[in-house]
Structure 1
Amino acid sequence: MTEQTLRKESTGHPYIVIQTDVCDGSPIVEGTRTRVIDIAIEYEVLGRSPDEIITSHPHVNLYQIHDALSYYYENREDLDQKIKQDQEFVKRLKVKIPSKMV
């Protein structure tokens, strides 16, 4: 591995990091592949409480969930843009690769 792939950025949040070689550099809960935006979507869109989110991510603690949400709110504009880009990518894939289930 090169030095570039091992790069880890501090975010100013104790449990959130950005690693260029994990999840395309999306902010994640340190030591996991759980993206901040996935936690934010569960909270904001699905209306799940932090305690409920833990059931989907049992490897993440409650304080890590709260830190991820804090990071999301501090960086909401950028992360909402990333969510939108991901949604557009999925739409393009659905057109390109239609479901075989009818």
Structure 2
Amino acid sequence: MSQLSVIKEHIEITPGICGGKPRITGHRIKVQDIAIWHERMGMSPDEIVFQYPSITLSDVYAALAYYHDHLEKIRQQIQEDEAFARELQAKHPSLVQQKLKDMHGREN
């Protein structure tokens, strides 16, 4: 079995599911999620499986291999998603934060 077929066994891309981004087969956990948890949050593959027991250690390693094979594209997708989230947050501030700000303003 070649490396490509092993990764295809664990990673799928389906238009309309998770924005067509690569994800763990049969799950909504994206390759970029695994990459973020591993690189930015410092989670080991074992910790990721512990937190998400519906996926396997093989799934995590396949996702990391896929990520490293497509590094630039996935990092760009992560940056685009983060920019979109910041933009959305700026346009639609948290109602809880707004209420706290209003309450805090009335106390002074």
- TM-score normalised by the shorter chain: which range applies? 0.7 to 0.9
Residue aligning to 1:64 = 59
Instruction: Name the one with the larger strand percent.
Output: 1
The alpha-carbon deviation at position 57 of structure 1 amounts to: 1.4
Deviations 1:12-64 (A, max 9, x none): 32210100021010001111111000000000000000000112211100011
Hey, what's the Cα distance between the residues in 2 that align with 1:85 and 1:76? 14
Hey, what's the Cα distance between the residues in 2 that align with 1:91 and 1:41? 17
What runs of 5+ residues in structure 2 fail to find an aligned partner? Answer: 98-108
Hey, what's the Cα distance between the residues in 2 that align with 1:53 and 1:74? 20
Question: Which letter does structure 2 place at the counterpart of 1:15?
Answer: H
Instruction: Name the one with the larger helix percent.
Output: 2
- For residues 1-102 of structure 1, what are the structure 2 equivalents within 5 Å? 12=4, 13=7, 14-102=9-97
Q: TM-score, normalised by structure 2?
A: 0.81
Q: 2:96 aligns to what SS in structure 1?
A: coil
Sequence identity (%): 37
Greater radius of gyration (CA): 2
* Count of paired positions: 91
What runs of 5+ residues in structure 1 fail to find an aligned partner? Answer: 1-11
Q: TM-score, normalised by structure 1?
A: 0.85
Structure with greater contact order relative to length (CA < 8 Å, sep ≥ 6)? 2
